[in-house]
Amino acid sequence: MSTGKLTKLTIVGYKDPQFKSKVGSKDESTFTMQVNPEKYSFEFKSLGNKPQTMANNKQQDKSKIPDAKKLNLKFFLDSTGVIPGCTDVPATVAKFNKLCTEVNGSIHTTNYLKIYWGKGLAFPCKLTKVKIDYLMFSQNGIPVRAELDAHFEEFMDSATDAAKTNSNSPDMSHIKTIKAGDNLPALCYEIYGDSKYYLQIAEHNGIINFRQLTPGQKVHFPRLEK
């Protein structure tokens, strides 16, 4: 039986899709679990049977960008004093929301997140949704116990994702080097046969202003899935 210090699951926020620059101070960029979850679950979707765009790019493909790996995490907050580590449930929920759900004005999107738990988990992601159930209240109606059911979706920067994708299906993932006059809707039509994916491609590549692409910039267009 180990007598070492307990390692707690931690969520760390970053400002860039390469996960190099943390959000603010250590306290601002880090959310540490009061109590480790009893379990977490991953959801995978098969990447087989992908449709390919026709060579003349005239096919109107109704497929979607494939779902990434998803992580579901449930955890508790308790300020009753029974468990140390939380003195104010609403304030702790607000800290979680600021780190994970609110748009960071300096990057015009929600923060990029990594979920760490010792040597067993290091998951780059963004939060997709969270459900908060308040379970117990003080005499004046302030929540003193809550359960959070948080859903995260895997996020990779374009270079990492391209390397992973190309190792399996090189003809279904593309990296384009931007030339003067290029724009995302036109490139999406060229690759997918439909321009409607441009906002998803901008988010996938961490592009803040899709109208102002920089010549020489590399943009990753992932494979499609029905």
User: What are the structural domains of the chain?
Assistant: 10-154 (2.40.30), 170-221 (3.10.350.10)
CA distance 77 to 86: 7
* pLDDT > 70? residue 49: no
* pLDDT > 50? residue 171: no
pLDDT value, residue 99: 97
pLDDT value, residue 157: 66
CA distance 126 to 12: 11
Tens of pLDDT, residues 17-29? 889 999 989 899 9
CA distance 90 to 92: 5
CB 110, CB 139: distance < 8 Å: no
CA distance 118 to 127: 20
pLDDT value, residue 67: 56
Residue written as tokens 């910039």?
A: 217
Q: What band does 168 get if pLDDT is binned at 50, 70 and 90?
A: very low
CA distance 218 to 176: 6
